[in-house]
Structure 1
């Protein structure tokens, strides 16, 4: 199967390093429209849709392969091999932050750095760890999604987005959620919210920028602080933002933080 068609891969920009943007649950690569183009004057920028999302090839969705995040990580490494040039920096939102960490573990040394936006290695609280949800919370969420996907999407997308002063963004995210094929979305939600990737991130030595919203229902501040503690080469940036999608609701703040972090891999901005 053609890789570009499978993942709807799009490449813009020029540069000696590559930024690969990977979206979160219920989203698609259009969610990067306010952030990714800001780097096209200095980077090769690769955007794609996870299989089952956006304009990816739905026929490529394999329930067994995508029953764990590793299947998406393998896809990501294939995209890197085919489309990236020079050092590769992954920009992953939400669950894609963990998909990127898994891709790094699978092919050590290929990825030069990560930008993790609203990351969470585990959504469910555990002893000594605050994920933000109890197991009962997640079970209820998944049960509601199973029984009424469109209703769940319409009610949850605005909550996930936050950004109360930017209602158009809630509409955009809701439409993205509702366009997702329900059976695929249900499986991906279960894989996302039931995963525990703490052992995959603990001790990962690749340079990491953690971009954390100051008020995020899905990935609370405690999660970002945890990742900063366990990732030995991490930089932590708390963005003044309400919601789980600061790349959409606070793109300039994200771009400023990324500029500082990415300086070792890029030439000066073209004036």
Structure 2
């Protein structure tokens, strides 16, 4: 049994006897994606940062496509981290796929978190009857094909489109570097699990005050998805921040810091 500190490269910083705030990263990034935001909480909070298995400096031996074939395996990892670090009533901040991982964890283990903050989260990326997810199946099939055929060319295009901050090219370059650091087969496996997932039926089960943060334009998660989440999660409020792209915590950290602080 591997401990979560090694498995998920857990970092504990800030005011160690303060209340806990946890930051969880999305696909293709690692805990460093939160560096510009988490610094604002170090004086008052015990801050927990970690890398999802398959990304960052998580244990490369821990990933297996058979185990991580749904978000449930990541939920188990987050439960282990919260257990190992004696987390109770924490503020849970999850970006993108970690938004859904946080939500599923909160439903299973309500004592861990007092509030949730979901940044650019989506319960389903595929369009459906009476549901706009943003993608058709052929869009996703084309994306998986491109990842499989020329991963590094895919990274270059996807990182710029997802970051959507052409005036700050270093942001897309940083995202590209973290994508390039992931083994292409792992990236493809994780992308399939995320983009083909559907957790809409779980949303009404969440019974925690929840802030939904959405950028003005996001190639991965349209505003319709954020509005859908807001309708389905009883205690949620939606805030559209003055930011563009799927990574507002990287491109407009002050916006995210203000939203989080106002909410908590």
Q: Assess if the C-alpha contact under 8 Å between 2:11 and 2:49 holds in 1.
A: yes
Partner of 2:257: 255
Partner of 2:157: 155
Which stretch of structure 1 is more off in the superposition, 76-85 or 50-59?
Answer: 76-85
Q: Assess if the C-alpha contact under 8 Å between 2:214 and 2:240 holds in 1.
A: yes
Tell me, what secondary structure is at the counterpart of 1:218? coil
Q: How far apart in 1 are the matches of 2:104 and 2:205?
A: 13
Q: Assess if the C-alpha contact under 8 Å between 1:44 and 1:84 holds in 2.
A: no
When normalised by structure 2's length, the TM-score is: 0.96
Partner of 2:11: 10
Q: Assess if the C-alpha contact under 8 Å between 2:88 and 2:113 holds in 1.
A: no
For residue 2 of structure 1, report the CA deviation from its aligned partner. 2.9
- Work out which of the residue numbers 196, 208, 211 in structure 2 matches 1:209: 211
Tell me, what secondary structure is at the counterpart of 1:211? strand
When normalised by structure 1's length, the TM-score is: 0.94
Q: How far apart in 2 are the matches of 1:49 and 1:185?
A: 14
**Structure-2 change in CA distance of 1:249 and 1:84 (3 Å):** farther
Q: How far apart in 2 are the matches of 1:123 and 1:131?
A: 4
1:95 equivalenced with 2:97 (yes/no):
yes
Tell me, what secondary structure is at the counterpart of 2:110? coil
Per-residue deviation, residues 114-170 of structure 1 (Å, max 9, x unmatched): 110001110000111111111111111112112221111111011111122211111
Tell me, what secondary structure is at the counterpart of 2:91? strand
Q: Assess if the C-alpha contact under 8 Å between 1:163 and 1:241 holds in 2.
A: no
Per-residue deviation, residues 85-111 of structure 1 (Å, max 9, x unmatched): 442121111011011111122223322
Q: Assess if the C-alpha contact under 8 Å between 1:87 and 1:112 holds in 2.
A: yes
Alignment RMSD (CA, Å):
1.2
Per-residue deviation, residues 198-221 of structure 1 (Å, max 9, x unmatched): 112134111111000011111111
Partner of 1:142: 144
Tell me, what secondary structure is at the counterpart of 2:111? coil
Per-residue deviation, residues 4-29 of structure 1 (Å, max 9, x unmatched): 11111001111532111111111111
State the 4+ residue runs in structure 1 displaced beyond 6 angstroms. none
Tell me, what secondary structure is at the counterpart of 1:219? coil
What are the within-5 Å matches in structure 2 for residues 63-82 of structure 1? Answer: 63-82=65-84
**Where does the alignment leave 5 or more consecutive residues of structure 2 unmatched?**
none
